């Protein structure tokens, strides 16, 4: 029974709004999970096609597919919603509830509730509803009900520091994370400052690099 709730689960679900969100804000914890726990299944779902930023849809999907191979995740699903449109989608809580019921993760990792990017905020806000809907039995959902007892959130808006902080020491996998990120050639200008933040969080914790998350609910 004595195990880490961060790396010892059997099933993880990462949900990102865009093709590089999962990698930049949680690439390090994914690498630690897969290095420390050979039984872990890490599932990734990307909701939009990334069409509102730099690069074409095809380039972004290709970059994400390459990154997923470098990370070694178990599955990587594209939902194909239009980039920038998630805030228009009132059905999004149901979409996410179905993902939770489909993958039945022990731990869910996704965007925070408040975020300056409307797509991120839509995912974060809808996930709160989705977690509840996934465990009850509304007629309109698919799959069997599932209670996910561990949820942590990305710090995907640098101006929304979490009140509760979870630092994941990624010093040992930081070189590998940087390789993964360099793979997102169309997005490098946007992504590099977040690697600098990994180093800043590391300095605060007396280590080389760290990822910061907001723990929402943990059950040990």
- Which residues of this chain interact with its own copies, rule CB under 8 A? 1-8, 36-37, 51-53, 82-85, 87-88, 90-91, 93-94, 116-118, 121, 128-129, 132-133, 136-141, 147, 149, 158-169, 193, 196, 200, 203, 205-206, 210, 214-220
> Considering the complex, what minimum distance in angstroms separates the CB of residue 70 from its own copies?
22
The Cα 156–Cα 116 span in angstroms is: 9
> Considering the complex, what minimum distance in angstroms separates the CB of residue 89 from its own copies?
8
What residues does 108 pair with on adjacent strands?
A: 13, 151
Helical (H) or strand (E) element with 140? none
Specify the residue, 18 or 76, whose C-beta has the smaller distance to its own copies: 18
For tokens 């994941």, what's the residue? 168
Q: Could you give the C-alpha distances from 117 to 27, 110, 121, in angstroms and in order? A: 20, 14, 6
CB-count exposure of residue 66 (10 Å: 0-12, 13-18, 19+): middle
Specify the residue, 28 or 43, whose C-beta has the smaller distance to its own copies: 28
Specify the residue, 10 or 196, whose C-beta has the smaller distance to its own copies: 196
Specify the residue, 43 or 117, whose C-beta has the smaller distance to its own copies: 117
The Cα 125–Cα 54 span in angstroms is: 26
Judge whether 18 and 25 are in contact, CB under 8 Å. no
> Considering the complex, what minimum distance in angstroms separates the CB of residue 109 from its own copies?
14
> Considering the complex, what minimum distance in angstroms separates the CB of residue 68 from its own copies?
23
For tokens 């779902």, what's the residue? 45
> Considering the complex, what minimum distance in angstroms separates the CB of residue 144 from its own copies?
14
Specify the residue, 76 or 131, whose C-beta has the smaller distance to its own copies: 131
């Amino acid at each position: 029974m004595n195990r880490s709730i961060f790396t010892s689960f059997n099933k993880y679900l990462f949900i990102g709004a865009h093709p590089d969100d999962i990698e930049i804000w949680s690439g390090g914890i994914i690498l630690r999970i897969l290095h420390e726990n050979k039984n872990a299944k890490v599932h990734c779902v990307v909701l939009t096609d990334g069409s509102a930023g730099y690069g074409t849809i095809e380039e972004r999907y290709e970059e994400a597919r390459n990154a997923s191979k470098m990370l070694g995740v178990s599955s990587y699903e594209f939902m194909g919603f239009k980039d920038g449109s998630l805030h228009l989608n009132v059905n999004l809580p149901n979409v996410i509830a179905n993902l939770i019921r489909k993958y039945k993760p022990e731990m869910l990792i996704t965007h925070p509730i408040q975020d300056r990017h409307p797509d991120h905020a839509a995912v974060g806000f809808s996930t709160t509803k989705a977690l509840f809907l996934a465990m009850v039995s509304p007629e309109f959902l698919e799959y069997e009900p599932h209670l996910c007892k561990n949820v942590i959130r990305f710090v995907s808006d640098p101006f929304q520091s979490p009140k509760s902080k979870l630092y994941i020491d990624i010093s040992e996998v930081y070189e590998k994370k940087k390789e993964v990120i360099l793979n997102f050639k169309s997005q490098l200008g946007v992504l590099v400052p977040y690697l600098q933040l990994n180093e800043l969080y590391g300095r605060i914790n007396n280590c080389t690099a760290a990822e910061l998350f907001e723990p929402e609910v943990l059950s040990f």
